[in-house]
């Protein structure tokens, strides 16, 4: 028997469309939350590293060169 | 060969950018730029075309000769490059062609309509970018080659927030922080309890009201996902809640700036209201820039409120966990919500703030107000209203008692909308800056004359000249350039945001979450508006 799933459009959350079992239990919801946290952490780290790189390049051209 | 085929869109977009830069540098586009009033940005247009096009060609060549991998270089540069350039080309077209065109059309329609559409609907590059993104994604759809690039929009927006950290002083952060903790704390907790109370009135399950209260109170989708397991929400309730939050946020993003202008809010009040009343970080940035895209005062205030709101998430999870009678989950503990969910971009924001406060961006020769910026840019211009005041004064010959040099400086200010050197000498920075400085000195002497009552100026003309002089005094070259980067990051991120607003996401809203969400959202927006108008006064921002 296949499990009925519903589609959640996360819109500007940037995770696009995701499917989740209609009768998802707490454990599944927890897994989903942890996966969202992990992807947000990666995204934040990328933003932080790229911001620092941009800042370094800007300082190089406006202050040090 | 197949890899070259896959890179065709990237080659085409990069080629188009380089062709555009060549056309712009040859002067062939000068008449169009003059008509649109974007001639002053011609050099920037050329540089951006060459740099972005060059990077695109380089990326396309690497993609063609190298086997695709799963390294960070592939994930964050090679794969999304086509999409990034696709959004960048749109951002450039909107900033330099669509926005000026909308302004011109709006002005020509003014006699018929009696008002300027672009002013009433805030049709600046931010709103236009969002609208273009929404139209593309809901009609033609996001092109396959651009999908990875569009997903970058979120972290590019976060890059914008991180770099905004360089623009605060200790005093500003302390003052705004105080306001934000009080206002956001009150409204976040107030909304959570209000939604729970409404759920009781309408006899709705605790699982639904629990998840909706977090979404409407804190920060939209992330809060919903974090709280769902705590309150044991059903999947359908999550979908309804996310749909409700997105729909409500999108409406707020367009309505807030118009209401703010209509109510005569100052940048600080609007920033506080948007940061408190709107639920999602990207939508807060969009509303703040829609309200005022020229300077970043509104954005600075709104982001402090937004960051405070994001930091409230663990508190709300704790509140809801106690309300629902659940200590910890099997996998999702309170620790994981506090530590794993902690928004690292806020650390980046504080890092840039610390670097700026320590004077890292301002060498001694560039101390505050010392760096003179005569470059052609929105940030160095006078406002439209000030320009109209000066233009009328010059045409009516109402400024009396000026020397020929002083009058020439005022006329040049009207012609260029800012203090600058001659357009023709812009390539020779030494000459250009000297001309700019001479004109600034003349304008300062006019202000001194007005103070000593040897020159009579109307209050509005005096304010306009004063603002023109202030506009070219910048904190430091590094901070100014970082601000330029930040504005482009926001423009890029918001077009990407528009591309993620789909009909499906909006229409999944429904049921009781929509009813309760609308009641609580509107109540929060109205009450926060009244409280902000009543409590928040102007804060001096640099």
C-alpha A48/C-alpha B349 separation (Å) is 9
The Cβ of residue B497 has, within 10 Å, a number of other Cβ atoms equal to 29
Closest Cα in chain B, distance from residue A18 (Å)? 10
Closest Cα in chain B, distance from residue A48 (Å)? 6
Closest Cα in chain A, distance from residue B465 (Å)? 29
A34 touches chain B (CB under 8 A): yes
Query: What range defines the domain where residue A61 resides?
Result: 25-65
3-state SS assignment for residue B302: helix
Which is it for the CA torsion B97, B99, B105, B108, positive or negative? negative
Could A54 and B153 be called an inter-chain contact, meaning their C-beta atoms sit closer than 8 Å?
A: no
B57 touches chain A (CB under 8 A): no
C-alpha B165/C-alpha B163 separation (Å) is 5
C-alpha B529/C-alpha B45 separation (Å) is 40
3-state SS assignment for residue A20: strand
Could A13 and B222 be called an inter-chain contact, meaning their C-beta atoms sit closer than 8 Å?
A: yes
| Residues B420 and B451 sit within 8 Å (Cβ to Cβ) | no
Please name the residue of chain B whose CA is at the shortest distance from the CA of residue A38.
B340
| Residues B241 and B224 sit within 8 Å (Cβ to Cβ) | yes
Closest Cα in chain A, distance from residue B212 (Å)? 15
A30 part of a folded domain: yes
Closest residue to A36, CB basis, from B225, B352, B361: B225
B22 touches chain A (CB under 8 A): no
Could A37 and B156 be called an inter-chain contact, meaning their C-beta atoms sit closer than 8 Å?
A: no
Please name the residue of chain B whose CA is at the shortest distance from the CA of residue A46.
B155
A8 part of a folded domain: no
The Cβ of residue B438 has, within 10 Å, a number of other Cβ atoms equal to 15
Could B344 and A34 be called an inter-chain contact, meaning their C-beta atoms sit closer than 8 Å?
A: no
Which B residues in the span 411-450 are in contact with A, Cβ-Cβ below 8 Å? none
A6 part of a folded domain: no
A8 touches chain B (CB under 8 A): yes
Structure confidence by residue, pLDDT tens digits, B291-308 = 988 778 899 999 999 999
Q: How deeply is B322 buried, as exposed, middle or buried, from its count of CB atoms within 10 A (0-12, 13-18, 19+)?
A: exposed
Structure confidence by residue, pLDDT tens digits, B48-100 = 999 999 999 999 999 888 887 777 778 878 889 999 999 999 999 999 999 99
B511 touches chain A (CB under 8 A): no
Closest Cα in chain B, distance from residue A1 (Å)? 19
Query: Which chain A residues are closer than 8 Å to B500 by Cβ?
Result: 11-12, 14, 16
Closest Cα in chain B, distance from residue A65 (Å)? 12
What Rg do the C-alpha atoms of chain B give, in angstroms?
25
Longest dimension (CA), chain A: 67
Could A43 and B158 be called an inter-chain contact, meaning their C-beta atoms sit closer than 8 Å?
A: yes
Predicted structure pTM score:
0.84
Both structure tokens of B38? 């974007």
User: What's the length of chain B?
Assistant: 542
Residue by residue, pLDDT tens for chain B (542 residues) are 555 557 899 999 999 999 999 999 998 999 999 999 888 889 899 999 999 999 999 999 998 888 877 777 788 788 899 999 999 999 999 999 999 999 999 989 988 888 888 888 888 888 899 899 989 988 988 899 998 888 888 889 999 999 999 888 888 888 888 888 989 999 999 999 999 999 989 888 888 888 888 888 887 777 888 888 888 888 788 888 888 888 888 889 889 999 999 998 988 899 999 999 988 888 899 999 999 887 788 999 999 999 998 888 888 888 887 777 654 555 566 666 677 777 888 999 999 999 988 888 876 554 455 678 888 887 788 888 889 899 999 998 888 888 999 999 999 999 999 999 998 888 888 899 999 999 999 999 999 888 888 888 888 999 999 999 988 887 778 888 898 899 889 989 888 888 888 888 777 777 788 889 899 999 999 999 999 988 877 655 55
Give the residues across from A8 on adjacent strands. Answer: A18
Both structure tokens of A59? 């300082």
Both structure tokens of A14? 């940037």
Give the residues across from A19 on adjacent strands. Answer: A7
Which residue in B321, B325, B322 sits closest to B226, CA to CA? Answer: B321
Instruction: Report yes or no for ipTM above 0.90.
Output: no
List of residues 6+ apart from B399 with CB closer than 8 A: B393, B407, B410, B455, B457, B461
Both structure tokens of B150? 């569009």
Cβ burial B141-179 (10 Å sphere, 16+ → b, else e): ebeebbbbbbbbbbbbbbbbbbbbbbbbbeebbebbeeb
Could A30 and B239 be called an inter-chain contact, meaning their C-beta atoms sit closer than 8 Å?
A: no
B201, containing H or E segment: helix B170-201
Could A50 and B155 be called an inter-chain contact, meaning their C-beta atoms sit closer than 8 Å?
A: yes
Closest Cα in chain B, distance from residue A28 (Å)? 8
Could B485 and A58 be called an inter-chain contact, meaning their C-beta atoms sit closer than 8 Å?
A: yes
A1 part of a folded domain: no
Which residue in A2, A1, A3 sits closest to A24, CA to CA? Answer: A3
B151 touches chain A (CB under 8 A): yes
The total of structural domains in chain A comes to: 1
Please name the residue of chain B whose CA is at the shortest distance from the CA of residue A48.
B348
Query: Which chain B residues are closer than 8 Å to A29 by Cβ?
Result: 228-229, 232-233, 238
């Amino acid at each position: 028997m296949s499990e009925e799933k519903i589609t959640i459009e996360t819109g500007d959350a940037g995770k696009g469309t995701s499917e989740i079992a209609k009768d998802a239990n707490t454990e599944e919801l927890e897994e989903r939350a942890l996966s969202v946290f992990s992807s947000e952490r990666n995204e934040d780290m990328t933003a932080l590293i790229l911001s620092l790189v941009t800042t370094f390049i800007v300082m190089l051209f406006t202050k040090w060169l | 060969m197949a890899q070259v085929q896959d890179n065709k869109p990237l080659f085409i977009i990069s080629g188009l950018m380089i062709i555009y830069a060549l056309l712009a540098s040859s002067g062939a586009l000068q008449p169009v730029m003059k008509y649109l009033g974007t001639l002053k940005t011609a050099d920037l247009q050329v540089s951006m075309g060459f740099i972005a096009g060059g990077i695109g060609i380089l990326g396309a060549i690497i993609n063609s000769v190298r086997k695709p991998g799963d390294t960070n270089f592939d994930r964050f540069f090679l794969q999304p490059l086509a999409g990034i350039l696709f959004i960048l080309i749109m951002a450039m077209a909107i900033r330099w062609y669509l926005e000026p065109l909308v302004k011109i059309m709006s002005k020509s329609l003014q006699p018929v309509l009696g008002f300027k559409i672009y002013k009433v609907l805030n049709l600046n590059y931010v709103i236009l970018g969002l609208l273009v993104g929404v139209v593309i994604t809901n009609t033609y759809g996001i092109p396959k080659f651009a999908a990875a690039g569009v997903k970058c929009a979120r972290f590019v927006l976060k890059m914008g927030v991180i770099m905004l950290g360089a623009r605060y002083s200790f005093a500003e952060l302390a003052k705004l922080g105080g306001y934000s903790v009080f206002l956001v704390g009150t409204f976040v907790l107030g909304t959570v309890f209000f939604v729970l109370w409404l759920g009781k009135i309408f006899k709705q399950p605790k699982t639904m009201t629990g998840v909706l209260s977090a979404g409407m109170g804190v920060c939209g989708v992330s809060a919903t996902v974090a709280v769902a397991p705590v309150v044991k929400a059903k999947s359908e309730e999550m979908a309804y809640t996310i749909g409700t939050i997105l729909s409500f946020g999108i409406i707020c993003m367009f309505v807030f700036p118009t209401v703010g202008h209509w109510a005569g809010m100052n940048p600080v009040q609007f920033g506080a209201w948007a940061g408190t009343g709107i639920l999602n970080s990207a939508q807060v940035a969009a509303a703040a820039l829609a309200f005022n895209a020229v300077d970043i005062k509104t954005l600075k205030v709104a982001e402090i409120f937004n960051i405070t709101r994001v930091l409230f998430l663990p508190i709300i999870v704790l509140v809801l966990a106690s309300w629902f009678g659940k200590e910890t989950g099997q996998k999702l503990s309170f620790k994981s919500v506090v530590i794993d969910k902690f928004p690292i971009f806020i650390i980046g924001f504080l890092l840039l703030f610390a670097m700026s406060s320590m004077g890292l961006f301002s060498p001694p020769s560039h101390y505050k107000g010392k760096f003179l910026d005569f470059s052609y840019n929105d940030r160095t211009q006078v406002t439209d209203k000030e320009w109209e005041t000066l233009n009328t004064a010059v045409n009516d010959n109402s400024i009396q008692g000026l020397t020929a040099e002083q009058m020439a400086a005022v006329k040049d200010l009207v012609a260029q909308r800012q203090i600058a050197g001659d357009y023709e000498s812009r390539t020779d920075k030494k000459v250009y800056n000297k001309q700019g400085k001479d004109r600034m000195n003349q304008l300062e002497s006019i202000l001194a004359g007005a103070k000593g009552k040897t020159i009579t100026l109307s209050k509005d003309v005096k304010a306009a000249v004063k603002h023109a002089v202030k506009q070219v005094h910048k904190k430091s070259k590094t901070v100014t350039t970082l601000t330029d980067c930040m504005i482009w990051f926001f423009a890029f991120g918001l077009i990407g945001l528009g591309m993620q607003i789909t009909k499906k996401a909006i229409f999944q809203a429904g049921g009781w979450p929509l009813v309760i969400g609308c009641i609580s959202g509107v109540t929060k927006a109205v009450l926060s508006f009244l409280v902000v108008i009543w409590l928040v006064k102007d804060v001096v921002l640099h």
